[in-house]
Structure 1
Amino acid sequence: MFKPIKQKRVYEEIVEQIRQLIAEGALKPGDRLISERELADRLQVSRASIREAFSALDMFGILESKPGEGTFIREVPQDSIIKPLALIFMLYKDSNFEVMEVRAILEGESAALAAKRSTAEDIEKIGGILDKMEQDVLSGSIGEVSDAQFHLAIAEAADNKVLARLMNTVSDLIVETMRYSRQRMFLTPGNKEKLLSQHKEIFNAIKSREPDTARKVMINHLNFVINEITHFEEEREEQENGNT
């Protein structure tokens, strides 16, 4: 599995081999590495070079040493991935269009995965939220909370822990962007009905186990929102310029 080292910067070559083996799946999180002595023999390097490489990999969070047990490939905590991504969402929370574009990328795949992986309980939950959304809108509410819950439930039904955590972490921001978009969109006659219809299409595609259709209707829905908000902002800008 390992190859003899022939380069001058020995520890860097060791680091690269281990990183490559992880990338290829030959080494997985939780795997225990062979001993320093055995690894040094296989790579034909000194144990000092092995220790230097291990130290670098430990600093990068790739390896961890457990006293009396050995050196292991580290399990990467989900928060180490989620928190930086969530921070990016929060830093650009005023860029509603860009947030919506990122959502279209994430949620298109989320809907497709939900169509493949959702359980009967997931379908029931999403359907119940959709009913609540319809009731909210018909009663005069803009329904941004139930709208956010609908999209979060789909992310959970996708059965991808990283995606679900990311969506839940930025859920408050999602509610904000939905409040912003719905307040403006509902000023146009017929948009309430269009949005409800689009959510029903998404739900039906997931329920029918049609991943390509689910992806398409989700992306179409979010692009519709982007286009409507863009049109609203352009009209508002024209009116403001006309009044000056």
Structure 2
Amino acid sequence: MNLKPIKTRKIYEQIVDQVGHLVAEGQLKPGDRLPSERELVERFQVSRASIREAISALEMMGLIEVRSGEGTYIRQVNIESVITPLAWMLFIETDSDLELYEARKILEVQAAGLAAERADDDEIKDLYEALEIMRMDLENHRLGEDADHQFHYSIARATHNKILIRLMNTLSDTMQKSLKSSRSRLYERGDTPKKLYDEHCKIYEAIKNHDAEKAQKFMLDHLLGVERHLAKYLNID
């Protein structure tokens, strides 16, 4: 049986989860006003501090709008509200590294192909600069997760697809945490840092040469390799 340890979740996270599900199910619609802070305290049977933490988190995710003197409202439908359920899911889930890599394969393999077709000189320069920082981090035995993130996000920008860029923005914080975590595990093997750098170089060269097919192949190879290592580390078949 695949049993997982029971995790204690913070109260405000449970409130965020409930509100998010109500929005996803259509029970709360854009423009609807949430109950007052006092009413929420009574309904949830929690402290004012927990309600305030939940409101702050929901506002940060773009799910609600706090209007001074008027109340708290579910935000109007737009591209942000389409992406919001993903944002609050990622905010709450803290053990989904492998699922994140599955999502990255869906998004980033296609993104690499689009970037190869559409990247202009400035965007190719951005990729090169991220790669150079990665090389210096490698020489100085640093993890280089910031340069890694900069490289992958630069690919998203080079697609010129606004929705894809917003999705990558939504994934951004979670990706940075995941990159740091996965790199620390991958760096346990002495040959891995150089291998990761070389994989990024191949992706860069394919995009620079506007070879969409190779860019997709090299990105997929890169993400599959990291995913396999993480699965082995986590003892997942």
| 1:189 match: secondary structure | coil
Mapping of residues 2-13 of structure 1, within 5 Å = none
Once the two structures are overlaid, the 10-residue window that deviates more, 220-229 or 80-89, is 80-89
Q: Which residue of 1 aligns with 2:92?
A: 91
Shift of 1:172: 1.2
CA contact (8 A) 1:205 1:214 kept: yes
CA contact (8 A) 2:138 2:194 kept: no
Q: Which residue of 2 aligns with 1:218?
A: 219
Structure 1 runs of 4+ off > 6 angstroms?
none
Length-normalised TM-score, structure 2: 0.65
Q: What is the root-mean-square deviation of aligned Cα atoms in Å?
A: 2.0
Question: Cα deviations across residues 30-73 of structure 1 (Å, max 9, x unaligned)?
Answer: xxxxxxxxxxxxxxxxxxxxxxxxxxxxx899xxxxxxxxxxxx
CA distance in 2, matches of 1:98, 1:147: 19
Gaps of 5+ in 2: 1-28, 32-75
Shift of 1:165: 1.2
In the superposition, relative to structure 1, how do residues 184 and 135 fare at CA in structure 2: closer, same or farther (>3 Å)? Answer: same
Mapping of residues 94-243 of structure 1, within 5 Å = 94-234=95-235
CA distance in 2, matches of 1:176, 1:60: 31
Question: Cα deviations across residues 117-136 of structure 1 (Å, max 9, x unaligned)?
Answer: 11111000111111011111
| 2:235 match: secondary structure | helix
CA distance in 1, matches of 2:94, 2:212: 29
CA contact (8 A) 2:110 2:216 kept: yes
CA contact (8 A) 2:127 2:151 kept: yes
CA contact (8 A) 1:122 1:153 kept: yes
CA contact (8 A) 1:118 1:158 kept: yes
Q: Which residue of 2 aligns with 1:65?
A: none
CA distance in 1, matches of 2:113, 2:123: 14
CA contact (8 A) 1:105 1:219 kept: no
Residue identity in the other structure for 2:91? M
- Which has the larger Rg? 1
Gaps of 5+ in 1: 1-58, 62-74, 236-244
Question: Cα deviations across residues 204-230 of structure 1 (Å, max 9, x unaligned)?
Answer: 111111111111111110110011112
CA contact (8 A) 1:114 1:157 kept: yes
CA contact (8 A) 2:119 2:158 kept: yes
CA distance in 2, matches of 1:90, 1:216: 30
Is 1:82 aligned to residue 79 of structure 2?
no
CA distance in 1, matches of 2:147, 2:79: 26
CA contact (8 A) 2:138 2:144 kept: yes
CA contact (8 A) 1:198 1:217 kept: yes
Identity %: 36
Length-normalised TM-score, structure 1: 0.63
